[in-house]
Amino acid sequence: MLCIRPFADADVQFGMRLKEQAGWNQLEGDWRRMLDMQPDGCFVAQFDGAAAGTCMTCIFGDVAWIAMMLVEQSLRGKGIGRALMEHALGFLDGRGTGTIRLDATPMGQPLYEKLGFQAEYSLARYAGKPTGCQRPSGAHRHTRDCDELVYSLDRSVTGCDRRKLLKRLIDERDCWVVGGSPLRGYLLTRAGSRATQIGPCIADDIAGPVLLNHAFDQHSESPIYIDIPLSHQPAAALAREEGLTAQRQLLRMCRGRRVDEQVERLWASSGPELG
């Protein structure tokens, strides 16, 4: 018998087991951050009484994000993923969200298409250890008095208000910025189980290279991941110059009203679980 129940803090270890099966990069803190941001929108599927899958959602005003759609390997093909997605979509539709987005793996894409999602654009995950040149940097450490500048810049580029996510990420890790008022760009990083995730990085064509090169220097000779839109050739070129290679592709998909996102200013995504 299959049923869907709320995700609880005690389910984090189960989630970690699933993400290890999938070879993903999250830490326990990533699961707890998502649960804290949307405690009523995170779900576990149970099959014959045992936990079998996960799905997390987060609402940013009129835009929602779905992430961490994972099913126990031994139970795939039993409709668990579809049941989780339909439950999550029902929750988000009930909250009146006009736009629902996600980053699809090739495995998940056919299911999402059947549920009404349409392709927006592809991203490539670049991975490796940046060479780093310890270049003079025009980036400076974020201070709390520029929080609103970061939120405003992010909203103008992504088309939604992600302050509850950005505040958490800023509190957890260093944030680097270029410019003052107006802010030209910002970049965040976070730790992972396999590599440091670089991003989000949102910036204009002057600040973008400054911020990415600063991150590459800060993490030289250490494993990193960075997710870059395929259409963003300048960001991809910088990654390749650092010796990073494209490992896999993700497809950003949308159900409902399209968001007017300025992809040319998205130098690095937050990662598939964050958008």
- Looking at residue 132, its pLDDT comes to 81
The predicted-structure confidence for 161-173, as pLDDT tens digits, reads as follows: 999 999 999 998 8
CB 90 within 8 A of CB 81: no
The predicted-structure confidence for 211-269, as pLDDT tens digits, reads as follows: 999 999 999 989 999 999 999 999 999 999 999 999 999 999 999 999 999 999 999 99
- Whose tokens are 């990662």? That residue is 271
Burial, 254: exposed, middle or buried (Cβ in 10 Å; 0-12, 13-18, 19+)?
buried
Pairing of strands 183-190, 196-203: antiparallel
The predicted-structure confidence for 29-71, as pLDDT tens digits, reads as follows: 999 999 999 999 999 999 999 999 999 999 999 999 999 999 9
The predicted-structure confidence for 112-148, as pLDDT tens digits, reads as follows: 999 999 999 999 999 999 998 776 678 888 777 789 9
Token output for 248: 């896999």
What CA–CA distance (Å, rounded) separates 191 from 228? Answer: 18
Among 164, 133, 120, 139, CA closest to 266? 120
What CA–CA distance (Å, rounded) separates 187 from 200? Answer: 6
CB 224 within 8 A of CB 129: yes
Flag whether pLDDT at 191 surpasses 90. Answer: yes
- Looking at residue 143, its pLDDT comes to 75
Over residues 64-93, mean pLDDT? 96
Q: Where are the domains of the chain?
A: 2-97, 125-268
CB 238 within 8 A of CB 213: yes
Class of domain 125-268: alpha beta
Q: Tell me the CATH number for domain 2-97.
A: 3.40.630.30
Can 2-97 and 125-268 be said to share one CATH topology? yes
CB 149 within 8 A of CB 182: yes
- Looking at residue 139, its pLDDT comes to 86
- Looking at residue 36, its pLDDT comes to 97
What average pLDDT is seen over the chain? 94
Over residues 103-110, mean pLDDT? 92
| Terminal C-alpha separation, the chain | 33
Question: Which residues does residue 267 pair with via DSSP β-bridges, in sequence order?
Answer: none
Global pTM exceeds 0.85: yes
